[in-house]
Amino acid sequence: MIKFSQRLQALPGYPLAEIPSIKRRLIEAGVDVIDLGAGDNDTPPPAVAVESMTAGLRNPALSKYGFQQGLPEFRQAAARWIERRFGHRFDPFTEILPLIGSKEGLSHLPLAVVNPGDVVIVPEPGYQAYLGGALLSGAEPYIAPLRPENQFLLQLDQVPADILRRSRLVFLNYPNNPTAAIAPRPYLERIVALCRQHGILLAYDNAYCDLTFDGYQAPSIFDVPGARDIALEFFSLSKSYSMTGWRLGFAAGRAELIGALTRVKSYVDTGPFLAVQKAGAAALDQGEEIVAPIRAELQRRRDAAVTALQDAGFSVEAPQAAMYLWVPLPQHAQSAAFAKHALEEMGVVVLPGSAFGPAGEGFFRIALTVGPERLRAAAERLGQALERIRRGPVATTA
């Protein structure tokens, strides 16, 4: 018999794993399913990326191994984009690293800094790749709850001193998935100071930095003086460029930190497809024009969904960023039971808060992946699901 590792057994079920098969069953049965589950917009990828990719497929040079260096053009476009967007300069060849989607880099990062017995601080609710990466590296995860009363900001100064001493890495993600929270500058300054004090690497996940509303501009962690000593920042083309399946992102930071992640990756992958990197470079160079309409559409969707959900009986506020609504449920309602009911009886895919860890209980997440009309229809159906759980035991049987 094959015995599996304790690491494997420690991995909780991945949140989105079961939904596709339930969804397929419902669609086959004729249900009009509205999928607000994965953060995967229905907007098409940028024309410039599609054109570049089409040409790239015909260029045999781009079918070769990319290795970690990848396509110089992509590194240069990423460095140019960071400079335009945030005003920070990074050397394209030593301080930028192409990733096969930012999830890949984030989840491999612990391997570069963790020894047995070390702690990785993981926000909860949060993107589950942080926990997965920590567990797969053999680290001891320390779960830091994100609570509404703290505006869903990870309270690093409340982590016990003995844990902080053993911590090598903390994941931070603002604009946040799933809560859509944003991080004020003084908060980021405190985080950087604490990481510097304790020698903790800060993995700042900025996947949603361009999906911001009402004029809000999300910062880079490198806006904080001294952050370069202790932080790596992760960017993704998935969300702002509607390129989720293309698998392209990048990390930025000082050469020693980028070098450590590069070394790990050189043993596990050979970099993103070069044609994808070329297309990504073309998209980044037109970043502002490409992202503006996506941002405007998301804001329309946010407004439609918030109003419709409020009308349907939910108390939800309009977030300033990301592509999610993090919606509170009535007290004692179980989010898994609600999401199951919403999917199986109402044909709406939402993610239960508990899928983002136990601290996410009491909420569910909506991704703004479809247009205003469909969001309004979904909100109406979710309102019926809410009525149903208010009435009876579906709330307490998961």
> For binding to ligand PLP (CB under 6 A), which residues are involved?
39, 101-103, 127, 173, 177, 205, 207, 236, 238, 244, 249
In the bound state with ligand PLP, the residue whose beta carbon lies nearer, of 212 and 236, is 236
Q: How far is the CB of 287 from ligand PLP (least distance, A)?
A: 15
Question: Cβ of residue 248: shortest distance to ligand PLP, in angstroms?
Answer: 7
| Amino acid identity at 359 | A
Asked if 208 and 322 count as a contact pair (C-beta separation under 8 A), the reply is yes
| Nearer Cβ to ligand PLP (124/205) | 205
Cα separation, 245 vs 45, whole angstroms: 10
> Which residues are paired to 204 by β-bridges?
172, 233
Kindly state the tokens that stand for 6: 């304790």
Q: Which is nearer to ligand PLP, 39 or 280 (CB)?
A: 39
The span from the CA of 267 to the CA of 256, in Å, is 18
| Least distance (Å) between residue 395 CB and ligand PLP | 28
What are the backbone dihedrals phi and psi of residue 193, each rounded to the nearest 5 degrees, phi first?
Answer: -60, -45
For ligand PLP, the closer CB: 52 or 176? 176
Look-up of token digits 């096969």: 100
Query: Taking the complex as a whole, how short is the minimal distance between the CB of residue 330 and ligand PLP, in angstroms?
Result: 27
CB of 207 to ligand PLP, least distance (A): 4
Q: How far is the CB of 239 from ligand PLP (least distance, A)?
A: 7
When the beta carbons of 151 and 244 are compared against ligand PLP, the nearer one is 244
- Name beta bridge partners: 226: none
Nearest CB to ligand PLP, comparing residues 15 and 138: 15
Q: Kindly give, in sequence order, each residue whose CB lies less than 8 Å from that of residue 358, ignoring residues fewer than 6 positions away.
A: 124
**Structure tokens belonging to residue 319:** 């977030």
Other C-beta atoms within 10 Å of 229: how many? 16
Residue 98 and residue 17: Cα distance in Å, rounded?
27
